[in-house]
Amino acid sequence: MKAKIKTIWTAKELIAMPSGESKFLLHNYLPSEGMGALVGMPGIGKSQFARQLAILVAAGATEFLGMRLNTIHRRVIYVTTEDYPDQIKFMLQKQLEGLGLDASENLIFISAGMSSPEELMKKIVDLATKYPVDLIVIDSYGDVFNGRDINSNSEIRSSLKLFDEIAQQNHCFILFLHHINKKGYSAKPGQEHVQGGSAFTQKLRTVFYLTDGKGDIRELNLVKGNYTSKKARENPLILEFSEENFLFKITDLAFESEPESEFRVVSREEKDITKILASKIFRDETLSAEEFLKRHREITFQSDRTAYRNRQTMAKLGLITEAPGGYRLNSEPMPEPK
């Protein structure tokens, strides 16, 4: 029997509800309860990205690509409709080795096989009821859609309602992997390129859009984020994807080939602001390029591209210096601007 979902609240009850980081699975991006999607063209790495997230949630990790993870149950259900068990094993083993983690019983895979959408839904409900989870990954949405026309907004709303009930009943987040239409292959990332009717993105709280860059570079764009700042929505996260271990990592390699522009003279006020930022980011520690990007994003909510340029500016101003393993604050006093 389904647990009854509370639907009527007084203002006093709402204010009395606990709040804070526990309301986010992935801080400021994915709420602990609700639905979202990761979209992109075929072969871009959506499954690898979602599986990496699932592995870390099941392991009780506190961070994913520099973003804070807040797990409660440390358990994930991963529904795969496209890969067979031997394929899942191969990629899972590579990712676990790359992360230095062991396989966990808290990461549960459901292989669709010949199951109908209705049969899959029953398996998900049964498992989520028996084993409380933080995250359910649906890879991919098109194969669990139980309507006739995936472009029909009314049928999409009906399909998503069932998953929304699961998220509410089990207080977990559901991440759908979904495709974009062919027009989106070469266009600027946007909700309008997500395959199917507009009701799909309208119902979701968060929509990540993964795009291809040069070589192994990928850009993670946030095209919808109800709980995210405007700056985060406007600035993509630059990632590097490894074909060797199927893992993503934060990187600034995307900017290394950019020619350095002539360094302009900055005002005393700008220099003081940059000095304060450098102090907040480094905190008398030596940081790798990846750690710098993470700290910069946490403090400023600006893009990795801006972070890379800011790091260049800090170096040219003499605020930071290279050190074994990365960069650190320069102990020498900063020269006054002319």
pLDDT digits (tens, 9 = 90+) for 231-287: 777 778 889 999 999 999 887 544 554 444 445 566 677 788 888 899 999 988 999
Query: What is the C-alpha separation between 52 and 45, in angstroms, rounded?
Result: 11
Q: How far apart are CA 137 and CA 82, in angstroms?
A: 13
pLDDT of residue 25: 94
**Whether 222 contacts 67, CB under 8 Å:** no
For the segment 168-186, what is each residue's pLDDT rounded down to a tens digit? 999 999 999 999 999 999 8
List CB contacts of 246: < 8 A, sequence separation 6 or more. 45, 48, 51, 52, 91, 94, 95, 98
SS3 label, residue 91: helix
* Domain covering 21-251 assigned CATH 3.40.50.300 in the classification: yes
Dihedral sign computed on CA atoms, order 142, 147, 151, 156? negative
pLDDT at 253: 47
The mean pLDDT value of the chain amounts to 87
Q: 0.85 cut: is pTM over it?
A: no
CB 137 within 8 A of CB 208: no
- Contact indicator for 238, 304 with CB cutoff of 8 Å: yes
What confidence category does residue 17 fall into, taking pLDDT thresholds of 50, 70 and 90? confident
Contact yes or no for 105/55 (Cβ under 8 A):
no
Please give the average per-residue pLDDT across 131-149, as a whole number.
94
Contact 189, 148 (CB under 8 A): no
pLDDT digits (tens, 9 = 90+) for 83-120: 889 999 999 999 999 999 999 999 999 998 888 888 99
